[in-house]
Homo-oligomer: A and B are copies of this chain.
Amino acid sequence: MATDGGSYDFVNDVSSPATGGCHSQQRSAGHNWEMNYQEAAIYLQEGENNDKFFTHPKNAKALAAYLFVHNHPFYLMELTTALLLLLLSLCEAPAVPILRLGIYVHATLELFALVVVVFELSMKMRWMGFYTYIRHKRTMVKTCVLLVQFIEAIVVLVRQTSHVRITRALRCIFLVDCRYCGAVRRNLRQIFQSLPPFIDILLLLLFFMVIFAILVCICLLFQYFNTLENSLVNLFVLLTTSNFPDVMMPSYSRNPWSCVFFIVYLSIELYFIMNLLLAVVFDTFNDIEKRKFKSLLLHKRTAIQHAYRLLISKQSLSGISFKQFEGLMRFYKPRMCAKERYLTFKALNQSTTPLVSLKDFYNFYEVVGLQWKAKRNREHWFDDLPQTAFLIFKDTVVAVNGMWILIQTFMLQGGKHMVLFLTFYGVELLLKTTGLGPIEYLSSGWNLFDFSVTLFAFLGLLVLAFNMEPFYFIVVLRPLQLLRLFKLKKRYRNVLDTMFELFPRMASLGLTLLIFYYSFAIVGMEFFSGAVYPNCCNTSTVADSYRWVNRTVGNKTVVEEGYYYLNNFDNVLNSFVTLFELTVVNDWYIIMEGVTSQTSHWSRLYFMIFYIVTMVVMTIIVAFILEAFVFRMNYTRKNRDSEEDNGIVLEKEISKEEIAGVIELYRCNCDASETVQLQKVMAQMDKYGQTSMLFLGRRSRTKSDLSMKMYEEEIQVGNVDVQTSSEVPDS
């Protein structure tokens, strides 16, 4: 859900000289109406952003604070402060060498950032009021963390030395609370909601692990399983398959049948219970997704009801007239021109009367996003061309080009002949861009893809032509053009379409993972910074991996390196790389054992907890991809006939009289500046002697549209009750 917080930038400008006189005139006539319009617009925005209604501004002072807090500059400030706080860990000891700052400097920076956060929070309190403020959980947690950080920063400044500051791990909350990180918040909520079933199955997993540990400890008594603790640790690592078959080999060499133990253990734990884990999370995830969609729908409807009541309250009409609607839109979407407003109104109005009823008004969010354009008989000049022939020609070119690249790549030749193909793609790109206009052209994932591939190819050619050595890697990316080939097959189109749709959500999931990384990196740095170094772990079982020996064999110097000492927690960047290696879980026990041998065996807890946390997040990611893909495929299967998905398209006709009426309305309101577009339309109609004109409203299909269609049967929207809106989740 995009935050259209920009709507209020203009509200503040209402008293500017240009339009001020007109407004004040109109205000004197209907000042109360203006207040209603504004409040209705706020309700609609709250519905769109999934803000709880109990934080709705209750008086003029609160409204001012609300307007101050809800706009992009403020959001940007929130974001930069949060990022500054997070990035400080690059400069605080243990710092990245080239970014090291004095304690005085970074502590001052931190205090500055924290003061900004205090300012932000006080503005929020002004808007919500004290009582609502302490009821709002997320804000309260933020306040507590802020307090702790403040005290610690002052302590650092006073003592002039950094103490063990694990609480820095909590800095993430400032980022999570940003308005722009709504998706991350949603992910975190979904993760926490999936936790109870996850933990249940995890207990089952651990239970079997303990049983096997006892069994192996008593019965086998091999090298790696001599104590219960060792058995447990090794079985835990075995679950991630990192030490398999290494732990098995000693016992296997003594008794070949001991492999049965390992096979049974891995079959039960890895291939059964781990999959069960995925199944449980996937199931919970699906269920939450459905319930979330339902409650979001309810929340939006409640917002629309609130707005509707405000719009009809003054005169008890049976619906909203265009005048009221126009007033609302002035606050809700100030950048919209009069033509678009009238078309939106017409699109909402399903009845024959000039009033929009509540039932029609329910479609507000679906209709308001439409982009309106006059319908021409031929939309683009190239619509006339024989489409299929052109497409087949294009596909052939793509295929031939693909073969060409494949051959060339394997012969590692330069590609001067590419110019031919590139010209073709360039011409296609130019034609499409001029036809559709650059913005519409780039709004489609496929066009964006075509564009970037062509651009890369072009750059590659330039690099080749001018022999620019350092950019040679662009030439190497040439095979990416082969991706065009994948467009030819329907399944790939589906997969790639899903990928385009998934991308924003994947990015937010990645960000969520990074936030976990950050917390773990801070904790890791506080505890394990400087723990591992070359030849550090010569007494442990993983000594080889940490070795760094400068041996002389004959007359040559051979360096024997284990390299694992590079996987340390010496600064944030190193920690992130180490954590990524832990995420991939291959040989992670080497890192764990290295650190453990240098610190205490409680360090293992850190690594195990990290493994479980990443397992949760990864399972969620898998569940999410599964859900999105299966959803998409089911949708395609349900709508096999309407194969080409052109998004939502709506057609509306406006007559000359209507336009004249709207212009008249604006003229009376002294808003003549907004009717420029309408007057142009009038002029055009006069020119061609038309009495009416057709307009097309378009927008791309969102997940919400798809969900609506898929859950049609399950969600009895008709039975929606206002009272149930209290269940709406927090954004």
- Give chain A's interface residues, CB within 8 Å of chain B: 197, 200-201, 204, 207, 210-211, 214-215, 218-219, 241-246, 249-250, 252-253, 256, 259, 263, 266, 270-272, 275-276, 278-280, 282-283, 286-287, 409, 472-473, 476-477, 479-480, 482-483, 486, 489, 491-492, 495, 506, 561, 563-564, 566-567, 573, 577, 580-581, 584-587, 618, 621-622, 625-626, 629-630, 633-634, 637
Contact = CB atoms under 8 A, between A and B. Distances in A.
Contact of A271 (B477, B586, B621): B621
Majority-rule SS of A interface residues: helix
Given A200-B492, A476-B218, A495-B201, A577 B259 contact: yes
Contact of A245 (B480, B506, B586): B586
A297 to B, nearest CB: 20
A486 to B, nearest CB: 7
B250 A626 contact: no
Contacts of A563: 249-250, 252-253
23 contacts: A200-B491, A204-B486, A207-B482, A211-B477, A215-B473, A219-B476, A242-B586, A244-B584, A245-B587, A249-B566, A250-B561, A253-B563, A259-B580, A270-B584, A272-B506, A275-B622, A275-B625, A276-B629, A279-B630, A280-B495, A282-B630, A283-B633, A626-B626
A716 to B, nearest CB: 15
Nearest to A713: B713
Stoichiometry, as copies per complex, reads 2
A252 B479 contact: no
Contacts of A633: 283
A250 B472 CA distance: 23
Given A214-B409, A279-B625, A244 B573 contact: no
Nearest to A207: B482
Contacts of A479: 210-211, 214
B584 A266 contact: yes
B241 A585 contact: yes
Given A218-B476, A256-B577, 12 more contacts: A201-B495, A211-B480, A215-B476, A241-B584, A243-B586, A245-B586, A249-B564, A249-B566, A252-B563, A270-B584, A280-B495, A280-B629
Contacts of A256: 573, 577
Contacts of A280: 495, 629
Contact of A587 (B244, B252, B622): B244
A621 to B, nearest CB: 7
Contact of A566 (B253, B270, B495): B253
A263 B492 CA distance: 24
A270 B286 CA distance: 23
Contacts of A567: 245
B625 A272 contact: yes
Given A245-B586, A271-B621, A630 B564 contact: no
